[in-house]
């Protein structure tokens, strides 16, 4: 049993001043000091741990290159120092053998209760070639039986599949959602009507809203329009100042509200490392400050962590502190069905952070266990 008193605490809904939080084992047990238990007083703000549903890599590791338990653990460790206490490591379009290896590794990581790992995100390969972004066109293909067998496994934690609705059947979307998969629409040139039909079939997410998807136009709202229009869709947004203009993101916030937008990093291996370049499926990716581009010019994921995403959302996107923190924790936790995370409440997992006024992470806990952070 331990109790911590902070200058401020945000529980996911409301703020508390000079608040005490008490944890026992892995859960929160109360918000009042307990007789006989010393109270540790700390400077800063306690908030729920961040939940990231799109993490390609970190700590010098790309999940596609190291689809094994060690690779998963290193990615999770790299992002913990930036406040991510739950994540779904993400495999981008690849050969079926890589997808199978990633699924097998995730099953082992879930069984081993690897800190911060709650499932897996398969981004592709069932995408639109015209909206492929940095994905390899040679790897894009329809959804086959071998892929479906991996996505529908019940030992992978929460599974997310990003697909283009024009490259799968409605029956496949229905089969995925029936198996508990969160189907996200992305890397797609779908019409508004096709996207809305996919949403009616069970799709519930949009992957990196505005990027690599049919745009909102006067006579064809496209996938962007469908994602903004539908109350059933939770959309991920990359708030790095490169992928989407901040004013466009602020417009999305006004339309959908903070309860249907979630911050994602789309992070590559450079996060939490000193890498200046790396190879992605045979293509050299170059880092320039906080931006990643293929040599051919396309944006290639991000040099973004969740703490910076929260900071940017407040400073540049027009979010209140509460909205930005909810978009980083409560909203993605709800999207994943993690009803015991993303909110500091009695009985919930003690996944929490101590942050400063700039949203930098000072300390973090996963399931009540304080995490050791390396150099940032």
Domain boundaries, the chain: 2-47+345-370, 50-336
266 classed as catalytic: yes
Q: What is the pLDDT of residue 374?
A: 58
Q: What region, left, alpha or beta, does residue 116 occupy, with left being phi > 0 and alpha being psi -120 to 50 degrees?
A: left
Tell me the per-residue pLDDT of 246-261, one tens digit each, with 9 for 90 and over: 999 999 999 999 999 9
Question: Mean pLDDT for the chain?
Answer: 96
Strand partners, 286: 277, 293
pLDDT higher than threshold 60 for residue 376: no
CATH 3.40.50.300 fits 2-47+345-370, yes or no: no
* 219 annotated among ligand-binding-site residues: yes
The pLDDT of residue 275: 86
pTM score above 0.85: yes
Report whether 153 belongs to an annotated binding site. no
How does pLDDT run across 197-242, given as a tens digit for each residue? 999 999 999 999 999 999 999 999 999 999 999 999 999 999 999 9
The one catalytic residue among 94, 194, 266, 349: 266
Task: Give the mean pLDDT of 26-35.
Answer: 92
Q: What span, in angstroms and rounded, lies between the C-alpha atoms of 93 and 138?
A: 10
pLDDT at 299: 85
β-strands 234-237, 261-263 pairing = parallel
> Could you read off the pLDDT of 54-63 as tens digits, one per residue?
999 999 999 9
Cβ neighbours of 157 (radius 10 Å): 19
Dihedral sign from CA coordinates of 294, 79, 310, 187: positive
Q: Does 208 belong to an annotated binding site?
A: yes
Q: Which CATH number fits domain 50-336: 3.20.20.140, 3.40.50.1100, 3.40.50.920, 1.10.150.20?
A: 3.20.20.140
Q: Quote the tokens at residue 85.
A: 């206490």
Q: Is 339 annotated as a binding residue?
A: no
298 band by pLDDT with thresholds 50, 70 and 90: confident
Contacts of 368 (CB under 8 A, 6+ apart): 2, 23, 24, 25, 26, 27, 349, 350
- Give pLDDT, residue 372: 80
């Amino acid at each position: 049993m331990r109790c911590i008193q902070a200058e401020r605490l945000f529980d996911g809904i409301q703020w508390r001043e000079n608040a005490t939080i008490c944890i026992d084992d892995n859960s929160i047990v109360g918000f009042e000091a307990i007789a006989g238990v010393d109270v540790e007083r700390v400077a800063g703000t306690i908030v729920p741990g961040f939940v990231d549903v799109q993490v390609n890599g970190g700590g010098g590791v790309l999940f596609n290159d190291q689809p094994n338990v060690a690779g998963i653990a290193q990615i999770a460790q790299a992002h913990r120092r930036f406040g991510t206490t739950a994540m779904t490591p993400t495999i981008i379009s690849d050969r079926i053998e890589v997808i199978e290896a990633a699924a097998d590794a995730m099953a082992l990581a879930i069984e081993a209760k690897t800190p911060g790992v709650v499932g897996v995100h398969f981004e592709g390969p069932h995408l639109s070639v015209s909206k492929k972004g940095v994905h390899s066109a040679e790897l894009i293909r329809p959804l086959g039986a071998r892929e479906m067998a991996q996505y529908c496994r019940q030992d992978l934690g929460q599974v997310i599949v990003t697909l283009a609705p024009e490259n799968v059947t409605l029956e496949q979307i229905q089969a995925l959602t029936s198996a508990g998969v969160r189907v996200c629409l992305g890397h797609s040139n779908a019409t508004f009507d096709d996207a809305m039909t996919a949403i009616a079939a069970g799709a519930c997410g949009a992957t990196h809203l505005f990027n690599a998807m049919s745009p909102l136009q006067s006579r064809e709202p496209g996938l962007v329009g469908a994602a903004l229009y539908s109350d059933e869709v939770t959309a991920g947004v990359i708030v790095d100042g490169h992928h989407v203009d901040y004013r466009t993101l602020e417009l999305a916030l006004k339309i959908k509200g903070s309860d249907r937008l979630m911050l994602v990093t789309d992070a590559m291996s450079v996060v939490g490392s000193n890498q200046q370049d790396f190879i992605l499926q045979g293509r050299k990716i170059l880092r320039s400050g906080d931006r990643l581009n293929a040599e051919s010019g396309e944006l290639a994921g991000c040099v973004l962590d969740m703490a910076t995403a929260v900071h940017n959302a407040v400073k540049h996107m027009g979010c209140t502190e509460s909205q930005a923190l909810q978009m980083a924790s409560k909203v993605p936790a709800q999207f994943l069905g993690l009803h015991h995370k993303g909110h500091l409440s009695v009985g919930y997992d003690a996944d929490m952070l101590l942050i400063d006024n700039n949203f930098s992470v000072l300390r973090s806990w996963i399931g009540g266990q304080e995490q050791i952070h390396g150099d940032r």
